Amino acid sequence: MRGQRVAIVGGGLAGIAVAEALSRFPFEIHLFEAKRSLGGRAGAYQDPDHPSLIDRCQHVAMGCCTNFLGLCQRLELEECFRRDTRLHFIDGDGKAHPFEASSWLPAPIHLAGAFRRQTYLSKPDQKRIAAALWEMAPPSAVEKYAGRKMHDWLIEQLQSEASIRRFWEIVLVSALGAPLTEVSFVAARKVFVDGFLRHRRAYQIYVPRIPLQDIFDVQAAQRLGERGVRFHRQSPVRQVAYFNSRFNVRFGQGSEATFENFIAAVPWHQSPKLFSPILKNLMPKLDNVDEIDSSPISSVHLWLDRPLTKLPHAVLLDRTSQWVFNHGARQFKQTTGHYYQVVISASHDLAGVKHEELSRHILGELVGAFGSQPAPYLLDYQVVTEKQAVFAATPSMEGLRPTQGTILPGLALAGDWTKTGWPSTMEGAVRSGYLAAEAILRKYDYHEPVGDADLPVSLLSRMLWGLGKEERLR
């Protein structure tokens, strides 16, 4: 490997993960990013009225995101995130329902008490939800219900509209980026099994303490730079071609360089544009990426003259708002504003709504949820919508996802849209980067995994449903 050059195109989490993995080996690594900063969709922006950076959208990880958390550990980013072991659900009447695991029970019954405390779900609904989870959990359910849409499956399982709206949608729309009438059963099962049924810590969430740009564009870049990774910011790659066993990369304003290895770590809608016709013919899956459905996520940023709640975050039921994150007091012009960010996934219905109208509607929902009287004054608002924030986890999506490795040694793809088995998340992006790195390393007869193992399956979950059996067979 020594002396071999690697070009990574795309400085999002997938590209960062590729760079981190390959930096453990004696490659010469060059990472090209079209924008000024790294992080991709996990980025931030600067506003003249606000001294600190503002994240475009709130990104969180869960305890089951072992590869993302492993990347953070290897790049010394752990202190950039706080770990929340208690979730907070606020029902339509403003009543808070804490959700926290038992201190001693094993998975999957570690959350049984927390589930019973969600009294906005009727007792009959709770029983039917538990029965549906039992039917969903065994590995055999993947084949049994392959190709099914989640909403259809829930109706078959006698789930009420109230339980679909207040339980299944609350979890799955945020995780999978699409309404339940579109998402696949297999993707939904992945969320519940890995997030709630597999391990005691899997449901916990990790929330950034500082702006994402400070995490990935500053600290992660510094650690990678110390390992010898060379960054080319504001250097869009125009095209890559293949000559004499090397990749010729055209970038920036007419610059060119050759590399023995090339990884494209860009979104699906950009990937086909990078490759020469000959290279593109070697990756037939790229001909179908225009069939991948994307889904928007809207983030509503509110600065108020007084605090609404002391809770660090909350999940809001029966409202437009889905998740709200409390970022505390922040400087705003010549005063102090209390900053809250509300995240709305699959926000197609908000297209065309004026930002001021939406912001005031969201503020009204927060006041109702937290019982804040008198209502705070809205100092400022901003609405950011990423129209292609995630791919929608539809039944057809899995067949459209390419593997990271290609038939040409030294050429790989990365990105959460590639075949990882995970939805469009930070974890999926990092896993794709590590799998792409493994594809490059196979060229040099190195076959050890570079990523992190999943959380182990609890003994009780193995006994009840055989979870983990499919992993041992792979």
Alpha helices by DSSP H, 111-255: 112-116, 123-136, 140-144, 150-156, 161-163, 169-176, 185-192, 212-213, 221-226
Collect all residues with Cβ–Cβ distance below 8 Å to 169 and sequence separation of at least 6. Answer: 179, 180
Q: Beta 44-47 vs 50-55: how paired, if at all?
A: antiparallel
Instruction: Tell me the C-alpha distance between 258 and 253, whole Å.
Output: 16
Consecutive H or E run containing 231: strand 230-233
d(CA 424, CA 190): 12
33 is in an annotated binding site: yes
The answer to whether 118 and 131 are in contact (CB under 8 A) is no
Distances from the Cα of 65 to the Cαs of 207, 402, 418, in angstroms?
13, 21, 17
Q: How would you label 134-145 residue by residue, b for 16+ Cβ within 10 Å and e otherwise?
A: eebbbbebeeeb
Token output for 356: 């001021």
Q: Which backbone phi and psi does 235 adopt, to 5 degrees? A: -130, 75
220 token code pair? 């992660």
Structure-token pair, residue 101 = 């695991």
Instruction: Using the CB atoms, write b or e for 160-197: b if 16+ within 10 Å.
Output: beebbebbbbbebbbbbbbbbebbbbbbbbbbbbbbbb
CB neighbour list of residue 80: distance below 8 Å, 6 or more residues apart: 72, 208, 209, 210, 214, 215, 219
Closest CA to 283 of 297, 293, 271: 271
Q: Are 470 and 139 in contact (CB under 8 A)?
A: yes
* Distance between CA atoms of residues 263 and 452, nearest Å: 20
Helix (H) or strand (E) holding 73: helix 66-74
Sign of the CA dihedral with 307 first, then 308, 311, and 312 last? negative
SS3 353: coil
Burial of 373 (0-12, 13-18, 19+ CB in 10 A): exposed
For 396, residues 6+ apart whose C-beta sits below 8 A from its C-beta are 291
Q: Cite the annotated binding site by residue number.
A: 33-34
Q: Cite the annotated binding site for FAD by residue number.
A: 33-34
